[in-house]
Amino acid sequence: MLEIIVTLVLELVKCLAPPTERQLVYLRKRNYNANLENLKTEMEKLKVERTSIQRRVSEAKEKGEEIEEKVEKWLVSADSIIDRAAKFIEDEESTNKCCLKGLCPNLKTRYQLSKKAETEVKVLVEHGEEVKKFDIVSHRNIPEEIWLKSNKGYEAFESRVSTLKSIQNALTDVNVSIIGVYGMGGIGKTTLVKEFARQAREKKLFDRVVFSENDENDQFGVPAQQPLFSFKKILPNLEGLALSGKDITMILQDDFPQHLFGSLKRLRVGDDDLACFPLGLLEKFHNLEFLFLSDCSYEVVFSNEGYLETHARKLALIKRLDLTRLNHLQQLWKHDSKQPDFIFQHLEILRAYHCQNLLSLLPSSSVSFRNLTRLQAFACKKLMNLLISSTAKTLDRLVSLRVFGCPAMTEIIISDEDETANLKEEIVFSKLSALSLFDLDSLTSFSSGNYAFKLPSLQDLWVIGCPKMKIFTKGELSTPLRLNVWYGMSDDKLRWSNNDLNTIIQQLHQEKVRLLEGSSPYSSQY
């Protein structure tokens, strides 16, 4: 009976007050059900798009490519939007949608749920549409070798085509470990092999192609009739290497010459079942600069049980450390352990991606990070803070700080237990120019400690999807006279701060509260 009355009222309002009719349409049961079904459908569509992008990102990372920033932001936002939609659907099912002991539908509840479902659908659709802009998801860090780009001197004679096919077949044969290309000088052996390498790279048969050729007078004394690829020459020239757990065991057990990996700068370790990173592995690589750890079972990365002090000199060479999908990882090293203060003295970039059990990125210690320029955390669900105040004081060269999709994070910098509670201390980020805070559901402030923050170089601040952030910091704050502040649900709203960032953050929070009270379409984003 009530549904009939609602329909009659809607027909009357449609004639007398069309704007009101647009609001009352949420009361119709069929509109309510349609909005819920649309929400479920669009959520599944976005899940499919997210999986597709994640697959492309994983493939790009395996090749050592740099992921586009807009793609990383999209993935973090997609996780947040999907989680929010799923929670809405779950809450809707458990909500009491009736009144008068179940005799009548609760029109107020129906209106609120229907309107919010429609808003969530729009968000899902808009986020899914952004995928069409991703013509690329990554870019190369290292220029491709010139000889791999083209080989103008190569002609596809029938004999060469058959030889190329033979090489391809041999590479898929598990019983073949060395392929030799023989013949007198000048008949095109080198040209043939270069062409195969180029085609193999184009067809994505291999992530990395390394080329080395020998002549009859080379330093190793290899005759001209020996295989063209010499591991004695290839390995010392390698700059990048990817290892699994089994590979690590083999390298640690074998007695390799000291110079064998003399040029290696980038090491990627994946699928290792050990509880901590095997520090002894670093002794095999004397010029290592980039360390990428992914899909491993590490509970801590650097453990004193792994003789940290013994290998500290090798760690000191690292310039970039990436941690990806280390789902057992809780901290880089144990909170109460002691490390040499120089172990990361050259580290410039530290990134953590999808480390779901990570609690703190830079735990309390005497370690200095004076050369760190970029610090980033993405989609680490249990990460409660980024670093402690004593560590923050060492970040003299920090240029960019980015935190995305960490729902448990309450503040970026927490107070050190060893510091005097009532003593006001300075924390100066003299070179920090960009600070990005995205989708941090529990964030209340940048720091709740009584510190005087000085940010003389800050140009851009993003505070997107941080509904509980009421103030930037409780202590004193010094920023440039003009500062770009992006806020709200997306980064299309800009405001300028006149050297009073705390006031701006307070105003923005109050505006968000008013929007929530007015059922703004932005409110459902948080």
Instruction: For 1-23, write each residue's pLDDT tens digit.
Output: 445 444 544 454 454 445 444 55
Tally the C-alpha atoms within 13 A of residue 525's C-alpha that lie toward its C-beta.
24
Question: Is the separation of the CB atoms in 339 and 332 below 8 Å?
Answer: no
Domain shared by 515 and 388, yes or no: yes
Report in angstroms the alpha-carbon separations of 113 from 32, 232, 520: 8, 68, 14
Domain shared by 123 and 190, yes or no: no
The Cα 151–Cα 154 span in angstroms is 6
Q: Is residue 249 part of a domain?
A: no
The Cα 128–Cα 85 span in angstroms is 14
Domain shared by 105 and 8, yes or no: yes
> Please, what is the end-to-end C-alpha distance for the chain in angstroms?
37
Q: What are phi and psi of 139, to 5 degrees?
A: -145, 155
Domain shared by 392 and 526, yes or no: yes
Q: Is residue 252 part of a domain?
A: no
Per-residue pLDDT of the chain (526 residues; tens, 9 = 90+): 445 444 544 454 454 445 444 555 555 667 778 888 888 999 999 998 988 898 888 888 777 688 888 898 899 888 889 988 888 888 877 765 565 555 566 667 777 787 888 889 999 999 989 888 888 888 776 544 433 444 545 455 555 566 667 776 766 665 655 666 666 555 566 777 777 676 666 666 665 555 555 554 444 444 444 444 445 556 677 888 888 888 888 787 777 676 778 888 999 999 899 888 888 888 888 889 999 999 999 998 877 654 566 667 778 889 999 999 999 999 887 765 566 566 788 899 999 999 999 998 887 666 778 899 999 999 999 999 999 998 899 899 999 999 999 999 999 999 886 655 556 789 999 999 999 999 999 999 999 988 999 999 999 999 888 889 888 998 889 998 888 888 765 555 566 656 578 888 887 777 665 554 443 333 333 3
Domain shared by 46 and 71, yes or no: yes
Q: Is residue 374 part of a domain?
A: no
Domain shared by 60 and 10, yes or no: yes
Q: What is the pLDDT of residue 212?
A: 53
Q: Is residue 313 part of a domain?
A: no
Domain shared by 169 and 112, yes or no: no
The separation between CA 496 and the C-alpha centre of its own chain, rounded to angstroms, equals 28
Furthest-apart CA atoms within the chain: distance in Å: 99
Domain shared by 150 and 134, yes or no: no
The Cα 174–Cα 491 span in angstroms is 52
The Cα 24–Cα 22 span in angstroms is 6
Domain shared by 210 and 121, yes or no: no
Tally the C-alpha atoms within 13 A of residue 188's C-alpha that lie toward its C-beta.
15
Angle at which helices 158-171 and 189-202 pack, to 10 degrees? 60
The Cα 465–Cα 123 span in angstroms is 13
Domain shared by 135 and 150, yes or no: no
Final residue of a structural domain among 231, 257, 272: 231
Final residue of a structural domain among 86, 107, 139: 139
Q: Where are the beta strands (DSSP E) in 96-137?
A: 98-99, 104-105
Domain housing 74: 2-139
Q: Is residue 261 part of a domain?
A: no
| Domain tally, the chain | 3
- What type of residue sits at position 141? N
Final residue of a structural domain among 139, 159, 194: 139
Q: What is the pLDDT of residue 90?
A: 85
Question: Is the separation of the CB atoms in 210 and 237 below 8 Å?
Answer: yes
The Cα 91–Cα 37 span in angstroms is 15
Q: Which residues are within 8 A (CB) of 388 and not within 5 positions of it... i.e. 6 or more apart? A: 360, 362, 363, 364, 413, 414, 415, 416
Q: Is residue 182 part of a domain?
A: yes
The Cα 412–Cα 447 span in angstroms is 6
Question: In terms of C-beta distances under 8 Å and separation of at least 24 residues, what long-range contacts does 100-106 make, across chains too?
Answer: 104/2, 105/2, 105/3, 105/29
Q: What is the pLDDT of residue 321?
A: 94
Q: Is residue 214 part of a domain?
A: yes
pTM: 0.61
Q: What is the pLDDT of residue 248?
A: 85
Domain shared by 104 and 154, yes or no: no
Q: Give the three-class secondary structure for 10.
A: helix
The separation between CA 80 and the C-alpha centre of its own chain, rounded to angstroms, equals 14
Q: What is the pLDDT of residue 251?
A: 80
Q: What is the pLDDT of residue 397?
A: 94
- Radius of gyration over alpha carbons of the chain, in Å? 29
Q: Is residue 263 part of a domain?
A: no
Q: Give the three-class secondary structure for 100.
A: coil
Domain shared by 95 and 30, yes or no: yes
